[in-house]
Amino acid sequence: MPFAPDNALSMVAGFKKLKFEDYLKIMFVAKFIEIVIIAYLMYHLKLFLA
């Protein structure tokens, strides 16, 4: 699933000519942060809806 941070980071990586390992690390961290934020929002939405 493409999310906005992936697009922004791939642009940054393209400009900075990162090594592939660094790029993968950044993508992994970004995806992890994204999942945490979404889980946090879903949790709070559940509280509001309950």
**Where are the domains positioned within the chain?**
4-49
Report d(CA 24, CA 40) in Å as an integer: 24
Q: How many CA atoms lie within 13 A of 34 on its CB side?
A: 14
Model pLDDT, residue 3: 47
Overall pTM surpassing 0.75 (yes/no): no
Question: How would DSSP label each residue in 1-50?
Answer: ---HHHHHHHHHHHHHT--HHHHHHHHHHHHHHHHHHHHHHHHHHHHHH-
Report d(CA 50, CA 10) in Å as an integer: 38
Model pLDDT, residue 32: 92
Write out pLDDT tens, residues 1-49. 344 556 666 666 666 666 778 778 888 898 899 999 999 998 888 887 7
